[in-house]
Amino acid sequence: MRAIFLDRDGVICKNKSDHVKSWDEFEFLPGAKASLNTLSMLGLPIVIVTNQAVVNRGMASAEAIEDIHNRMVSEITAAGGRIDRVLYCPHRPDEHCDCRKPEPGMLLQAAQELDIDLKNSYMVGDAATDIVAGQRVGCSTFMVLTGRGLQQLVHAFRTARNTFTITRNLTGAANQILKNELQLTGAGELWQLYSENYHQSIPFTVK
């Protein structure tokens, strides 16, 4: 089974310079809920994989992070979308764990728990670490220009192993993933109908 992996900050919610430490500081990016609704139509598992070193830095408790995720999932569900699993890494970079992106530990964990075929899955993020983590396990990778995307582009070019796709935001990535999936299933006419009624940015590919 294929899956869709999403980073959280900068993809679904706004980045904050001092991090998102409570639900009061969480703010959905424009179009994020609608994009998750679109992705939910595909029936593929949707998994959030996010670095949250604020826990081991003592800036937020594990309970606070889990509360953020529970509320986030509830709002997404209420808006017609779906999140199947939320995985986060609480470690600081100096702890050298195997789950903090760019390490692919969270993706490997999800693959084991949900029986996911990583080489035919998707990873969407706003940082070079997201792209590298996805490519290490063979995912098709998308870099959004929201969050840290613009600032991370050069670093992503330097560190990515393979081609990745750049989109303006999660909406662009969702549209491209939808198009890919419809083509895989031979439902190109459905994509044509969808695209005629859902005008968003057109992604482009870089090497």
Please identify every residue annotated as catalytic. 7, 9
Cα Rg of the chain (Å, integer)? 16
Beta bridge mates, 47: 5, 85
Q: Which two tokens stand for residue 19?
A: 């991090």
Phi, psi of 122 (to 5 degrees): -125, 145
Cis amide leading into 30 (omega within 30): no
Distance of CA 196 to the CA centre of its chain: 25
3-state class of 178 per DSSP? helix
